[in-house]
Amino acid sequence: MDGNVYQIIEFQHVKPGKGAAFVRTKIRNVIAGSVVERTFNPSDKYPTAFVERKDMEYSYNDGDLYYFMDLETYELLPINKSILADSFQFVKENMTCKVISYKGNVFGVEPPNFVELEVTTTEPGFKGDTATNVTKPATLETGAQVRIPLFIEEGEKIRVDTRTGEYMERA
């Protein structure tokens, strides 16, 4: 649209009692990163942008540059920290992520939906504290902070949903 590539974040189809229906959207410019709200007619047509999603392995970071290795050619691709989503805090070295690009311009990195990480620091649970759904803060091996149940100890591996940042289960 207007020479830019947009990703729909939210949409709502509205059919008022009077007049024609319309679609209210929240869209993000994938190259610039800006988010705008816009209203469209249901009959509007726009060409499809062909976005490439490629599996690449996170190798290491050097300051603000994060290096990803192409699994076929073994070439390293540097990606700036500003492009990475908040969910990247759950990614450790040698994990495979999806690098998203349009015409060779990288605009996003999707980590796996679920990752297994080790709890490095947390407070010990207290005996007799058996209230349901009580959680405590914990730091994972990547430095990410999550809330975990009281029975999880330091050194245990847990499964985390990277989309929500929530504890799922023991690994």
Print pLDDT tens along the chain (171 aa): 888 888 888 899 888 888 889 999 999 887 777 889 999 988 888 888 888 889 999 998 888 888 999 888 888 988 888 888 777 888 888 889 998 888 878 888 888 888 888 888 888 766 555 666 778 888 888 888 888 888 888 888 999 888 888 888 887
Q: Are residues 160 and 120 in the same domain?
A: yes
Q: Are residues 124 and 148 in the same domain?
A: yes
> Dmax of the chain from CA atoms?
64
Number of domains in the chain: 3
Is residue 163 domain-resident? yes
- Domain CATH code at residue 56: 2.40.50.140
Q: Are residues 106 and 123 in the same domain?
A: no
pLDDT of residue 12: 92
Task: Give the range of the structural domain holding residue 95, as residue numbers without chain letter.
Answer: 52-110
pLDDT of residue 133: 72
- Phi, psi of 53, deg, nearest 5: -115, 115
CA 151 – CA 119 distance, rounded (Å): 12
Report whether 100 contacts 106 (CB < 8 A).
Answer: yes
Query: Is 0.75 topped by the overall pTM?
Result: no
pLDDT digits (tens, 9 = 90+) for 12-36: 988 888 888 999 999 988 777 788 9
Cβ burial, residue 70 (10 Å; 0-12/13-18/19+)? middle
Residue 130 sits at the vertex; the CA angle it makes with 124 and 153, to the nearest 5 degrees, is 25
Is residue 33 domain-resident? yes
DSSP state of 112: -
